[in-house]
Amino acid sequence: MITTVNPANGAPLRTYPFTTEPELEAVLDRAVASLRRRDSESVSWRADRLRELADRLRGSVERSATLITTEMGKPLDQARAEIEKCAAACEYYADRVDDLLAPQHVSLGSDTGYVRLRPLGVILAIMPWNYPFWQVFRAVLAAVAIGDTVVLKHADNVTGCAVAVQDLFTEVFGVGVVNVVLLPPERIGPLIDDSRVAAVAFTGSNRVGAMVGARAGAAAKKAVLELGGSDPFLVLDDADVPAAAAAAVRSRFLNVGQSCIAAKRLIVARSVRDSFVDAVLASLRALVVGDPMAAGTDIGPMARVDLRDELRRQLDSALAGGATLLAGGSDSRPGAWFPPTLVEVADASSVAFREETFGPLAALLAVDSEDAAVEVANSSVYGLSSSVWTRDPDRADAVGRRLAAGSVFVNRISESDPRLPVGGVKASGYGRELGAHGAFEFANVQAVRTAASGVRTVQ
């Protein structure tokens, strides 16, 4: 059984039974049947359905946002923004699905040739809780646009959101396009093995992601893995310091700091360290911590008590290792609360720099040069995204080329956008979501070549 809990007060919300084996068999058969049915859909029909999905998301924004906040604790205004982001992604692919699915003709002399995208099959999506709607849409929307179907294994603590996402897709695309299953961890491996599953999309921890990738690889199945990050936020000596400080606070503490692409490591030129810290502390003092359902709240509880406890362990370890506490540090109220916290570390070996910190804890390190900033940025095992702050565009480009990261944002925070691919390198995983590149991950990129006349044999 799965019981969802309100992280603001620890109150149980609802209990859900696990999917039985016969029910799982029926789900997989339904996903396969829907896949076959979808082959007759026209491109214009899919585009219309994507626009309808956007309309339904906006029409149910209050219900969906309230569910998100109740299950995982993010402030209600941020939950509304998450729903709007999903709607915008639907419109993006609605406007582009015709181009994505149009044959790309290739010059082959007298022969005719083209490349087309065909559905890959049933995609198993194993999704996290931090953006319970957006993570699903980000991972599978392009696949649904192409004609794939989805089996969704969502994080247990956002089961209500998982069911709501399934219902939205069912209302618009029909039964079997997105199918929720509720499974304990030991049943996920056999599901990956099942011959009806063509590929796996996973977002989550490195430990579990490595197991998912290995299991998929053993079955010769495609996998896209987004395994988190410890993103560097580089403030160079010529940066607009007030703007950089405000952006650092927004990036690190949005969604209660529970974002893979948050600015977790603030790497700051020593010459601007003092002014940057002063500006960050002023922004931190302005954050409103409180009831996530209340208007104007910036920071609510973390999603679960165990996550709060892990962040406390990391903070305590960092302080024991010589880090200096500049703000925050403790919150005694019941529930999964953790205050906005800033520490300054002595070097990149600190736990706060070495490990991914998934919550409202920022770590700062002052460095003496641009080369040192890049070296520290690349010292992490992760390589998801990055942010570079400088007034010199050429300098930003040169630094960005040296960063081992899937994305580089210049003078703005890292954020996912349906128009750009999202994904990482190193321990942050492989594959891409969103944009045109994301559409290729779960497609059969099929080449077609036809002889100019008659049957042509190989010489």
Count Cβ atoms within 10 A of the Cβ of residue 307 and give its class: 0-12 exposed, 13-18 middle, 19 or more buried. buried
Q: How far is CA 20 from the centre of its chain?
A: 29
For helices 61-72 and 159-173, give the axis angle rounded to 10 degrees. 150
Q: Which of 328, 339, 336 is nearest to 309 (CA)?
A: 336
Contact indicator for 133, 165 with CB cutoff of 8 Å: yes
Contact indicator for 447, 115 with CB cutoff of 8 Å: yes
d(CA 426, CA 458): 43
Using only the alpha carbons of the chain, give its radius of gyration.
23
Beta pairing, strands 149-153 & 122-126: parallel
Sequence-distant (≥ 6) Cβ neighbours of residue 30 within 8 angstroms: 175, 176, 179
d(CA 136, CA 132): 7
d(CA 93, CA 47): 7
The reply to whether 90 belongs to the active site is no
C-alpha distances in Å from residue 28, one per residue of 89, 175, 443: 27, 12, 19
Q: Tokens in use for 404?
A: 């081992």
Q: Which of 90, 161, 260, 356 is catalytic?
A: 260
CA dihedral in degrees (87, 93, 98, 100; nearest 10)? Answer: -170
The reply to whether 41 belongs to the active site is no
Q: Which of 226, 356, 370, 415 is catalytic?
A: 226
Q: Tokens in use for 347?
A: 């070097």
Q: Which of 459, 450, 457 is nearest to 106 (CA)?
A: 450
Structure letter (DSSP) for residue 20: P
- Sign of the C-alpha dihedral, residues 181, 185, 187, 190? positive
The residues carrying an active-site annotation are 226, 260
